[in-house]
Amino acid sequence: MRITAQPRPERIDPDTVDLGDPAFYAEGDPHPVWTVMRREAPVHRRTLPDGRSFLSVTRHADVSAVLRDHTRFTSRRGTMLSILGERDPAGDKMMAACDPPVHGALREPMARVLSFARLRPHQEAIRRLVRTLLQPLADGGPLDLAAAATGFPMAFTGALMGLPEQDWEYLARLTTMAVAPEDATFHQVGGGAKLVRAHHELFAYFAEQARSRGPRDDLVGFLRSMPVGDRTMRREELVYNCYSLLLGANVTTPHAMAATVLAFTEHPEQYRRLGDGTATVEDAVEEGLRWSSPANHFMRYSVVDTELSGVPVRAGEAVVAWLGSANRDERVFADPFAFDVSRSPNRHLAFGFGPHYCIGAPLARIALRLFFAEVVRLVGEFELAGPVEHLRSNFVAGIKSLPVTAKLR
């Protein structure tokens, strides 16, 4: 997804723009559209040719309300536009697709094992992975950072989950196919067929992991014996939640890495602030997350008649919260189209909000901070070495090719 500077004032009719079209994010720019919608149509109903419809929510306050309030907006019926109008088979089985109290019973034990404190011993291993990833730049050559970053979270998440290293590349490809089934990277068959194939293969893979015998000192082993209320996790729940954890890891981290480095090529003065110490890596990571908003949307269904920004929302309607728009809301962010590595406060929603706030956020932050700390140590300046290609997906605001070279320190 392209990220513009301040969009020029222009007349855009939201009824003429299909925000659900994956091609729009590979070839177009939603930010001018979202800017108009935040101002003129913050809650906008779109009906598709097949009769399905959804409400687009674009302001930070409304997005936060939709994600926070499970009494009005449920996750049980599906959380992505790709299954709009369909029953989500993971409802009440996968943490991301359930509401309290089931959600809390699944989340609380997982949150403890994925906390900053529990993940701290893995930092040195992640740092070694970062140095390996950056080695082509250290050797003076070009690097397609987006392509290289695709396998980066798989390397440490796969190790945490106890998945065989020879499977990592295959799993990274399947998770990308699951969020970008229309992308030309994959076989030239219908996107729906690719989505079904990705889900089938991922679920079959984790079903096999669930059947593995003997004790396991890894995340899959933890989930297998994890208490869920007065019982342990069922096999179907294990499969869905392994899928969700892996998908979450592969969605945020690589695309935040690539989009932030692209921003540094476009705003070199901001990158220099990291080198001279006038900004911190920690703050730069948060601005990169706001700027890139890798998870582009989350969907909910209204369970009661309610309203958002004065617009009636009927019970049963699908509501799509656009995180990329919320993270440019002029009501919350001063000069929101400026990339500012010392932005404070920075109330971005890149990891969601409320009870479904990304459980992998601590791991993603650790990985991103280690990555950019190594980048600042090694690289004096980035330069583009070829065209940037964006992912064809309405769910992930992703970059699939970012060739760069570096002037070393």
Cα dist from 106 to 220, 228, 232, 251, 361, whole Å: 14, 6, 10, 21, 17
Alpha-carbon gap, residue 101 to 383, rounded angstroms: 50
pLDDT value at residue 211: 85
How many percent of the chain have pLDDT more than 90?
A: 86
Q: Rg (Cα) of the chain, in Å, rounded?
A: 21
Pick among 3.30.70.3340, 3.30.465.10, 3.40.50.150, 1.10.630.10: CATH of 14-408: 1.10.630.10
pLDDT value at residue 25: 94
377 class by beta-carbon count within 10 Å (0-12 exposed, 13-18 middle, 19+ buried): exposed
Please report how the helices 235-266 and 191-210 are oriented relative to each other, as an axis angle in degrees rounded to 10: 120
Instruction: Write down the residue that tokens 């582009």 correspond to.
Output: 296
pLDDT averaged over every residue in the chain: 93
pLDDT value at residue 7: 62
Ordered by start, the domain boundaries in the chain are 14-408
CA atoms within 13 A on the CB side of 95: 27
Instruction: Write down the residue that tokens 């309405």 correspond to.
Output: 394
Instruction: Give 15-32 pLDDT, tens digit per residue.
Output: 889 999 999 999 989 999
pLDDT value at residue 185: 81
User: Block means of pLDDT (10 residues each) for the chain, length 409 residues?
Assistant: 62 88 92 94 94 97 98 96 92 95 94 95 96 97 96 94 95 92 71 83 93 85 90 93 93 94 97 97 98 97 98 98 97 96 97 96 97 98 96 94 96
CA torsion through residues 106, 359, 316, 396, sign: negative
Question: Which amino acid would we find at residue 187?
Answer: H
Alpha-carbon gap, residue 54 to 239, rounded angstroms: 29
- In sequence order, the β-bridge partners of residue 313 are 306
Cα dist from 231 to 95, 99, 209, 370, whole Å: 16, 18, 20, 38
Instruction: Give 54-95 pLDDT, tens digit per residue.
Output: 999 999 999 999 999 999 999 999 999 999 999 899 999 999
- In sequence order, the β-bridge partners of residue 57 are 43, 321
Cβ-Cβ contacts under 8 Å for 146 (sequence gap 6 or more): 254, 255, 258, 389, 398, 399, 400, 401, 402
Question: pTM to 2 decimals?
Answer: 0.95
Report the 3 state secondary structure along the chain.
CCCCCCCCCCCCCHHHCCCCCHHHHHHCCCHHHHHHHHHHCCEEEEECCCCCEEEEECCHHHHHHHHHCCCCEECCCCCCHHHCCCCCCCCCCCHHHCCCCHHHHHHHHHHHHCCHHHHHHHHHHHHHHHHHHHHHHHCCCCEEHHHHHHCHHHHHHHHHHCCCHHHHHHHHHHHHHHHCCCCCCCCCCCHHHHHHHHHHHHHHHHHHHHCCCCCCCCHHHHHHHCEECCEECCHHHHHHHHHHHHHHHHHHHHHHHHHHHHHHHHCHHHHHHHHCCCCCHHHHHHHHHHHHCCECEEEEEECCCEEECCEEECCCCEEEEEHHHHCCCCCCCCCCCCCCCCCCCCCCCCCCCHHHCCCCHHHHHHHHHHHHHHHHHHEEEEEECCCCEECCCCCECCEEECEEEEEEC
- In sequence order, the β-bridge partners of residue 318 are 301
